[in-house]
Structure 1
Amino acid sequence: MFKIGLTGGIASGKSTVLTYFKDKGIPYIDADIVAREVVEPGTEGLEAIVDAFGSNVLHDDGTLNREALGAIVFHNEEKRRQLNDCLKEHIRNRIMELTAHYESNRAAVLIYDIPLLIEGEWYTMMDEVWLVYVNELTQIERLMSRNGFSKEDAMARIKSQMRLDDKRSYADLIIDNNGTPQALTAKLDTIWSDRLEPLLQKPQ
């Protein structure tokens, strides 16, 4: 099974790229979905968060209050690291479980959409790393127009992540998304025919 690690940054267009390949029927693991699964009521992940941050991060029905937790961790690097430590093992275990599931079903290709692909060293288990890249100015402009952020808010969110320029050296394939949506689709069509179709046609 050929493992592709897909990475990018806020407003880089990574979700658009993933959707393109999802629509082609390529199986994927979305770490954001996994992160939500491991904090469902009754999970060890949620228990770890309550132990670390207190029960005021819960709604009355026992589900995680993401807004309350976000307010605690967003501008505080130490708290953000603490949250990451609470969930890291649970997320990793679930991703490995899903990987085994796709391997047993003889999937030819599996895409991993993991925000901390580089920082969490997930890239080391990938056959290729694909980076959806935009320059910082494009990120700022898209965040301001798409989310209504001020320039300061946009910069704060960008600065809370690893710089896309620093991710370039890890990438086997850089998908430049500074242009139009049509230009991106044309690039993805080429990647599909040149890189993925040959993998799918190989006998498993």
Structure 2
Amino acid sequence: MKLVGLTGGIGTGKSAAAELLVRRGLPVIDADEAARAVQAAGSEGLAELVKEFGSEILTETGDLDRQRLAALAFGDPDRLARLNAIVHPRVRAWMAERQRELADRGEPMVVQSIPLLYEARGAEGFSAVMVVYAPRAAQLQRLVEQRGMAPADAEARIAAQLPIEEKRRLTPYVIDNSGPLDRLPAEVDRVWSQVAAGLA
């Protein structure tokens, strides 16, 4: 089975690009979905997070308050490292299990959508990596206007990742999402065609 990575920066449109690949019929294993699963109410992962960060990260219904956890962890390197040490191994295990299921079905190729691909594991093991790109100013604007983040919080989230300009230099497969969202489908098609041709 060939592995293709999909990554980007927060606010660049990686999730939208992943959804477009799914619509093309490609199997996509999403690290964001994995993170939600391993931090779900009643999970071992959530219990570890509460032990580390306190019950203030829970909602009234016992679910994870992601915004509260982000406010506690991002901007503090030590806390962020502790968060990643709890979440990342569980996310990798969840994704590995999904990959085994797809391999058992005989899928020849799978896309792994991983926000921190370069930061957490690097490109080793991937036949190709696609980066969804938007300039930092666009990232900040989208986080503030579309997700309702305070500018300082948005800056902290962006700063916690490898700069998007650096990510785009690490691969020839760059999906440019710096323009309007309605241009993204054609851009995803263009880059995926390049990837598929390179792996043929």
Instruction: Give the TM interval when normalised to the shorter protein.
Output: 0.7 to 0.9
Distance 2:180 2:66 in 1: 33
Distance 1:40 1:154 in 2: 24
Q: After the TM superposition, which parts of structure 1 deviate over 6 Å for at least 4 consecutive aligned residues?
A: none
Distance 1:125 1:47 in 2: 31
Distance 1:147 1:43 in 2: 26
Q: Compute the displacement of 1:180 (Å).
A: 3.3
Q: 1:27 to 1:153 in 2, by over 3 A?
A: same
Query: Is 1:105 the counterpart of 2:99 in the alignment?
Result: no
How many equivalent residue pairs? Answer: 200
8 Å contact from structure 2 (residues 74, 156) kept in 1: no
CA-based RMSD: 2.5
Q: Secondary structure at the match of 1:42?
A: coil
Instruction: Give the equivalent residue in structure 1 for 2:54.
Output: 54
8 Å contact from structure 2 (residues 173, 191) kept in 1: no
Q: Secondary structure at the match of 1:63?
A: coil
Q: Compute the displacement of 1:140 (Å).
A: 3.0
Q: 1:194 to 1:43 in 2, by over 3 A?
A: same
Distance 2:197 2:26 in 1: 11
Distance 1:133 1:55 in 2: 36
Distance 2:164 2:43 in 1: 33
Instruction: Give the equivalent residue in structure 1 for 2:162.
Output: 162
8 Å contact from structure 2 (residues 130, 175) kept in 1: yes
Answer with 119-128 or 93-102: which moved more.
Answer: 119-128
Instruction: Give the equivalent residue in structure 1 for 2:19.
Output: 19
Letter of the 1:30 counterpart: D
Query: Is 1:39 the counterpart of 2:42 in the alignment?
Result: no
Q: 1:68 to 1:189 in 2, by over 3 A?
A: closer
Distance 1:64 1:46 in 2: 7
Instruction: Give the equivalent residue in structure 2 for 1:6.
Output: 6
Distance 1:157 1:37 in 2: 21
Alignment deviations for residues 76-95 of structure 1 (CA, whole Å, 9 cap, x no partner): 22111111111222111111
Distance 1:146 1:67 in 2: 15
Letter of the 1:187 counterpart: E
State the identity as a percent.
34
Q: Compute the displacement of 1:152 (Å).
A: 4.6
Tell me, which stretches of 5 or more residues in structure 2 are unaligned? Answer: none
Q: Secondary structure at the match of 1:5?
A: strand
Instruction: Give the equivalent residue in structure 1 for 2:30.
Output: 30
Letter of the 1:136 counterpart: R
8 Å contact from structure 2 (residues 2, 127) kept in 1: yes
8 Å contact from structure 2 (residues 5, 114) kept in 1: yes
Within-5 A mapping of 1:128-139: 128-139=128-139
Q: Compute the displacement of 1:197 (Å).
A: 8.0
Distance 1:116 1:168 in 2: 13
Q: TM-score, normalised by structure 1?
A: 0.84
